Amino acid sequence: MTSRKRIVGITIGLIAIAVFVVVYQRGMWRIDADKSAHAKLVSSARQAMMRSPMGDLAEALQAGLRRCEAVSAVDGLVPDRAKVDAVRRLTEEFLRARFQSSPGEYVAWRQGQGDQPAVTMSQLRAWFEDHDPALTLLEDPPRDDQSLDDYFARLAPVIERASDGRGTLRRLAASAGYWTIVFTIPAREARGSSRMDAASPRTALQTSAAIFGMKPFWIGKEAISNSQESLFATVCFIAEFGDRVLRPVAINWWWSEKEGRWMLTGFDVGQRSSDETTLIPY
């Protein structure tokens, strides 16, 4: 039930054997330069993240989410005010429902959004039998006569107790500079064309050793039909988890033209190492 995503890319072009040595030497110099620049970026992003002032949920929402910058990763894309405001509102509702309410209240919130089950109990049982690190925290396997809502309500608090604090958020960044909302249409995004801001929580996420996210328990009732041409919004921020470690977090939303609203599509966490695991079912 877990998914890991890594991005590492290096390309070397060799034009002809006659100039092999020249190209090789220049290529190696560029690789070393790229590695050095990336290492500096990772270090700067880490230092910036550690300077983030932290507060409780109410303080972070007031000083951070409600006042943070909303930017576009696509030239010419300017989301209207209503869409931006809706992302802020839904993100606040999600954080309050998931981390400040009971599992049952969170389930009720998902149902109120019109979301539907993303998995069946049979699928959960198969993942359990495949030794899923989250589901096996419950000793008994999922049963067909259980509801997904009841199963989540049992699993969520067990994960929080058993994961050394990595299964819950303790505090969030209490400054607008450590939150950002990024709008994009994947097919139109000019990747790599803009300089990465080391102080941005999005950069902290992108330069993490690994990005980890659990598969969702619920999804919007409309499936994403064309992910490359759809409008997405990602809310990035710095969070202190229950183990007192600061990590970058991203909450992802997709705009459904048919429904005329945003739908939750992901909850991702930047890891300090590829072996680290944060289990937060949503």
Distance CA 135, CA 159 (A): 9
pLDDT of the residue at 220: 87
Nearest to 256 by CA among 62, 90, 34: 90
What string of H, E and C letters represents the secondary structure of 140-206? CCCCCCCCHHHHHHHHHHHHHHHCCCCCCEEEEECCHHHEEEEEECHHHCCCCCCCCCCCCHHHHHH
- The answer to whether residue 138 is domain-embedded is yes
- The answer to whether residue 282 is domain-embedded is no
Distance CA 5, CA 110 (A): 26
Other beta carbons within 10 angstroms of residue 274's beta carbon come to 12
Mean pLDDT of the 17-26 span: 31
Per-residue pLDDT tens over the stretch 141-185 = 999 899 999 999 999 988 888 778 788 899 999 999 999 999 999
Which comes out higher in pLDDT, residue 58 or 134?
A: 58
- The answer to whether residue 49 is domain-embedded is yes
Angle between helix 103-112 and 148-162 (nearest 10): 130
Distance CA 16, CA 217 (A): 53
Distance CA 236, CA 181 (A): 6
- The answer to whether residue 11 is domain-embedded is no
Nearest to 220 by CA among 230, 211, 229: 230
The answer to whether 246 touches 270, Cβ cutoff 8 Å, is no
Reported residue count of the chain is 282
Mean pLDDT of the 100-123 span: 93
Confidence class of residue 191 from pLDDT cuts 50, 70 and 90? low
In the chain, which residue ranges form alpha helices assigned H by DSSP? 20-50, 57-60, 81-99, 103-112, 121-129, 148-162, 201-206
- Domain count along the chain: 1
pLDDT of the residue at 124: 92
Distance CA 228, CA 181 (A): 19
Nearest to 242 by CA among 172, 165, 156: 165
The answer to whether 219 touches 115, Cβ cutoff 8 Å, is yes
pTM of the model: 0.82
Confidence class of residue 217 from pLDDT cuts 50, 70 and 90? very high
Distance CA 252, CA 264 (A): 6
- The answer to whether residue 220 is domain-embedded is yes
- The answer to whether residue 278 is domain-embedded is no
- 13: DSSP letter: -
To the nearest whole percent, how much of the chain has pLDDT over 70? 82
pLDDT of the residue at 84: 97
- The answer to whether residue 281 is domain-embedded is no
Q: Domain limits at 158?
A: 2-6+16-271
- The answer to whether residue 280 is domain-embedded is no
